[in-house]
Amino acid sequence: MHRFLVVSLAAALASAHSHVEDIWAPSPSVHYYGWNPNAYDTEPYRNDTPGWYTTGQGGRPLYPINANTYDIICNNNSLPANVSAPIAAGDSVRVRWWEPGPWPSNHKGPVIDYIAPCNGSCTDVDATKLKFVKIAQLGWIDDSWEEGYWASDKLLSDDNRWNITVPKGLEAGEYVLRTEIIALHQAHLAEGDGTYSPIGAELYPQCINLKVTGNGTKALTGGIDARTFYTGAEPGLAYKTLHETREHADYVIPGPRLWSGA
């Protein structure tokens, strides 16, 4: 099949478009609205929000071709949020993803969470300087649903909500939390296509500014640039068997290893 036909097919199959609409930090006591990219060209920040500004209207996904670009860090043309949400180390952040309805049940895949220190204020941080560590990940859970029950299904079962724990003992300071859904319903199209394919898995990164409080002494070390997380050729992104079975115990979540302090 010619490449342009494959890309057209991929676009036609895509139906999930999402961004973080609500943020509770700490959860459940303090609520913020996330940045609404659907109005980026007509409205400024309507309220203070720790959710990063992006131009991803409709919450459109990124693809492996974007994995080494600026957009993969915090989404399309992102800029730092205008506030950082105070939260104690060890507390939880809760996000709710916007969708025109529930998260599509056929858009199965992992949910991955990262954090990076801003080394100062996050409201004017240079995204290209952020060094992230992975603090949580969840992929295939069991075979109870058609094509398996995945992290994305757990999110769907909780009204598109997801909980992220700030590492206990983390030293005080400002950080960027990066949460990401990866949808694998088209991942088989990229098998054998090499690195940075224009087709394949859909990537939905979103970033949130946090101001961590407390007396923790745990420093983030070993972080890396988000533009080096993926190439698209990893087995967990160019994944061919999603539609063939409920059993995915061999699925390997892409990206770096979990941070030792998580």
Confirm whether 10 is domain-assigned: no
Domain count, the chain: 1
Confirm whether 11 is domain-assigned: no
Residues 175 and 88: beta-carbon distance below 8 Å: no
User: Residue 245's pLDDT is what?
Assistant: 93
Question: pLDDT class for 102, splitting at 50, 70, 90?
Answer: confident
Confirm whether 21 is domain-assigned: no
User: Residue 46's pLDDT is what?
Assistant: 59
Which CATH number goes with the domain that contains 53? 2.70.50.70
Confirm whether 228 is domain-assigned: yes
User: Residue 54's pLDDT is what?
Assistant: 92
Mean per-residue pLDDT, 76-89: 96
Mean per-residue pLDDT, 6-18: 48
181 or 104, higher pLDDT: 181
Confirm whether 3 is domain-assigned: no
DSSP string spanning the chain?
--HHHHHHHHHHH-----EEEEEESSTTT-EEEPP-GGGTTT---SS--SBPB---GGGPPB-GGGTTSTHHHHSTT-B--S--EEEETT-EEEEEEE-SSSPPTT----EEEEEEE-SS-STT--GGG--BEEEEEE-EEESSSTT-EEHHHHHHHTTTEEEEEPPTTBBSEEEEEEEEEEE-TTGGGGTTS-SS-SSS-EEEEEEEEEEEESSB-B---S-B-GGGS--S-STTTS---GGG-S--TT----SSPBPTT-
Confirm whether 168 is domain-assigned: yes
* Domain range for 103: 26-244
Confirm whether 44 is domain-assigned: yes
What digits encode the pLDDT tens for the residues 83-99?
999 999 999 999 999 87
User: Residue 99's pLDDT is what?
Assistant: 78
Residue 15 clears pLDDT 50, i.e. is over it: no
Question: pLDDT class for 57, splitting at 50, 70, 90?
Answer: confident
User: Residue 44's pLDDT is what?
Assistant: 57
What digits encode the pLDDT tens for the residues 134-157?
999 999 999 999 999 999 999 999
Query: What phi, psi does 10 have (nearest 5°)?
Result: -60, -45
User: Residue 204's pLDDT is what?
Assistant: 96
Range ranked top by mean pLDDT from 8-12, 18-22, 115-119: 115-119
Residue 10 clears pLDDT 60, i.e. is over it: no
Question: pLDDT class for 13, splitting at 50, 70, 90?
Answer: very low
What digits encode the pLDDT tens for the residues 195-224?
999 999 999 999 999 999 999 999 999 999
Confirm whether 165 is domain-assigned: yes
Question: pLDDT class for 56, splitting at 50, 70, 90?
Answer: confident
